[in-house]
Structure 1
Amino acid sequence: MTITEFIKSDVKAVLQAEGRLPYKLTLGAMSEHYKVSLTPVRHAVDELVDEGVIRRKDNGRLEAQPEVLKGMKLEPPKEDATERKLYETIRQDVIVRSLQQDTEYLREHATAEQYGAGRTVVRQIFSRLAGAGLIEHVPRCGWRVHPFSEQDMHDYLDIREMLELKALDLARGHFTDDELQKLLKANKPGRGDAKSELDFDLHDYWIERCGNRYISEFFKRYSPFYNALFNYAVIDERVKREMAKEHCEIVECLLAKDWKGARKALSHHIRDQREAVSRMIEYLNEKKYA
């Protein structure tokens, strides 16, 4: 997936979901947003104009046409398996640095050399990680890893618990048994030698249906960073099995219309994530200083 393809895909996805872009529709603003040169942005805009997603007005200004994407099923651009593996490798390295509070700047050239990759590919990966809140671009310095703070995590989980419980209450009338049954099947606690199966997107089910844009925007802004850490912290089968059980308990309560039980199960599940990340930090520190 090239930088141009990534920008095109991202613009379409954001317009379809939000109906507007979080930046001015100019080449300069887009270049700054995606932390890339003007060239791939210009190519992406030209292709989006050809597809009718963006209109170039008589005065030369650009205007988004989100209605063109209404009801359209967007196909994500195909990603090379090698590039996908490189993205996951760099992503895991960034998460470890974050958990260890390593604030050393990442350099595109040094990272490209380290992994034997092209600098353009590395820049694109860094842009995706920045979009997930894991790193940020600092002009003339490089890319800075977002350092993990245990106090920040506790503060985030406190707010997350309150807002998710509120989202669960607000979304109550929008659940269907068919959808809940699918969620139940996607979360399977392992038995014997069978590995557990986890659906990490379970929480999005009620957040997306709560109808409160302030709740939705909170999770859109802050959850990618913490979700990446939480998901990385689930390293052993025992933890996965416990989380799968907790997911199933929440969904089973929703199927039974046991709203009080569902709130209690969700609250317990969120609080358990503190312990998972704390264990991960201890593990990484022991490994670092061994």
Structure 2
Amino acid sequence: MAMYIKDDLAAHLQSGCQLPVQLTLGSLAEHYQVSFTPVRAAVAELIDEGLLKKGPNKRLVATPQQSSEDSGDSEPLLPEPPRDPYQKIASDLVRLSLRGQPIYLREEATAEKYDISRSAIRNILHRLAGEGILNHIPRRGWRLQPFRQDDLQAYIEIREVLELKALELARPKFETKELQRILQANTPGNSTTQPLTVDESLHDYFISLSGNTYIQDFFDRQGRYYRLLFEWEDHDNDVALETMRQHREIITALLDKKWARACKALSHHILNNHPILSQIERTASAARPVSAAKNLAVKQRPPGRKPRDQKSKA
């Protein structure tokens, strides 16, 4: 990020164009949406290269640049903003999770693969752990949550019950303006090159409006991993289009106060909108390794001795 800030400011300074922000640490940090640390590093390099200097009052001042034929009113060639590797890593881990096997990740190897620092990859892995796709195992690294078809179906069944209840509780509190905003956000644009982005805020909206802390707690704790899977699934354009259509059907029924139709549409949406995940072969039992803990318990059981929970026959 420091390198991007430095290159971006350098492009403006060398072209003679007006800077997009005042030359203060606070203004620069606010403009680039970062802390002071990368701003200070960028400014220090620009001072070393002679593009900036400190004035008598210690304020930053742009150093006058020699004019060239290419300078003038032409727009400067600006660098591309750095891309957050979180989405790429999250998408890759979802794909690995779909194999249905618990995989361990090492920070050093993962950082090297994505060409980022250890501290950066550690922050991303902590974020993914908060989403429920990773578990941190002391002295072993990070364990990937394996996808199980049976677990998905069980989650969907409970999700349907709780979201229908949340919809019922939220019914008197719906605001027309907010529903219309979500409806508009789920309308595909005219661009054929930009990927579709599904607005999933409808679900969070009525779960929050329900006021039921137990429903909210379930989705906060159990729904994060599946939310990540569903977002990955929506990367498919056809799936995204169908998701938007189903969202609009639910919202339109709510705006028309057709409560039974809204409940039916919501139920259909939850149960039938996972064409990619539901097609994954049911290899859970075949791919699942035998529990090492269970084997160890059996081996340690004294010969001829029955388990505690098994009653001896008279």
| Shorter-normalised TM range | 0.5 to 0.7
* Cα distance in 2 between the residues matched to 1:235 and 1:130: 21
**Correspondence for 1:182:** 181
SS in 1 for 2:136: strand
User: Is 1:107–1:142's contact at 8 Å kept on the other side of the alignment?
Assistant: yes
Instruction: Report what 1:252 is aligned to.
Output: 252
One-letter amino acid of the counterpart of residue 198, structure 1? V
Q: What is residue 265 of structure 2 aligned with on the other side?
A: 265
Aligned counterparts of 1:193 and 1:111: Cα–Cα separation in 2: 34
2:128 and 2:185 map into 1 onto residues whose CA distance is 27
Specify the code of the residue in structure 2 equivalent to 1:167.
A
Q: 1:97 touches 1:103 (CA, 8 Å); kept in 2?
A: no
Query: What is the TM-score when the length of structure 2 is the normalising length?
Result: 0.61
Q: Please identify the structure whose Cα radius of gyration is greater.
A: 2
* 1:96-136 Cα distance to aligned partner (Å, 9 max, x none): 11111242210011111222211111111111110110100
Q: Is the 8 A contact 2:170 2:207 kept in 1?
A: yes
Is the CA contact 1:135–1:145 (under 8 Å) kept in the aligned structure 2? yes
- Counting only pairs closer than 5 Å after superposition, residues 112-127 of structure 1 correspond to structure 2 as 112-127=111-126
Offset at residue 234 of structure 1 (A): 2.1
The one-letter amino acid paired with 2:165 is K
Decide whether the 8 Å contact of 1:108 with 1:142 is kept in 2. Answer: yes
Q: Report the Cα distance in structure 1 between the residues aligned to 2:277 and 2:257, rounded to whole angstroms.
A: 31
Once the 2 structures are TM-superposed, how far is the Cα of residue 192 of structure 1 from its aligned partner? 9.4
Rounded to whole Å, the distance in 2 between the matches of 1:198 and 1:144 is 29
Distance (Å, rounded) in 2 between the aligned partners of 1:193 and 1:123: 36
Tell me how far apart the structure 1 counterparts of residues 236 and 85 of structure 2 sit (CA, whole Å). Answer: 23
Contact 1:171 1:209 in 2 (8 A): yes
Residue-pair matches, total? 206
Give the C-alpha shift of residue 188 in structure 1. 1.0
Q: 1:231 to 1:210 in 2, by over 3 A?
A: same
Question: How far apart in 2 are the matches of 1:150 and 1:94?
Answer: 17
| 8 Å CA contact 2:182, 2:199 repeated in 1 | yes
Once residues 154 and 236 of structure 2 are traced to their aligned partners in structure 1, the CA distance between those partners, rounded to angstroms, is 26
Distance in 2, Cα, partners of 1:131 & 1:235: 21
- Compared CA separation, residues 267 and 191, structure 1 to 2 (3 A): farther
Report the AA paired with residue 208 of structure 2. Answer: E
The answer to whether structure 1 residue 214 and structure 2 residue 214 are counterparts is yes
User: C-alpha distance in 2, partners of 1:197/1:88?
Assistant: 13
Partner of 2:168: 169
Distance, in Å, in 1 between the alignment partners of 2:92 and 2:191 is: 32
Change (3 A) 1:170 1:116: same
Residues 236-258 of structure 1, C-alpha deviation per residue, up to 9 Å, x if partnerless? 32222211111001000100111
Identity within the alignment, %: 45
Q: Deviations over 1:26-49 (max 9, x none)?
A: xxxxxxxxxxxxxxxxxxxxxxxx
* 1:259–1:139 CA distance, 2 compared to 1 (3 A): same
The secondary structure found in structure 1 opposite 2:273 is helix
1:199 corresponds to: 199
Detail structure 1 runs of 4+ shifted over 3 Å in the superposition: 77-82, 189-197
Distance in 1 separating the partners of 2:90 and 2:239: 22
Give yes or no for contact 2:182–2:201 (8 Å, CA) kept in 1: no
What letter is aligned with 1:160? R
Aligned to 1:141: 140
Whole-Å Cα distance in 1 between the matches of residues 230 and 95 of structure 2? 12
2:206 maps to amino acid: W
Q: In structure 2, what is the Cα distance between the partners aligned to 1:180 and 1:214?
A: 24
CA contact (8 A) 1:111 1:122 kept: yes
Root-mean-square deviation (CA, aligned residues, Å) is 2.4
Using the alignment, how far apart are the partners of 2:111 and 2:229 within structure 1? 24
Q: Secondary structure at 2:201's aligned position in 1? A: coil
Alpha-carbon distance in structure 1 between the residues aligned to 2:126 and 2:197: 30
Q: CA deviation at 1:150?
A: 0.4
| Matching residue's letter, 1:216 | Q
**Which residue pairs with 2:110 in the alignment?**
111
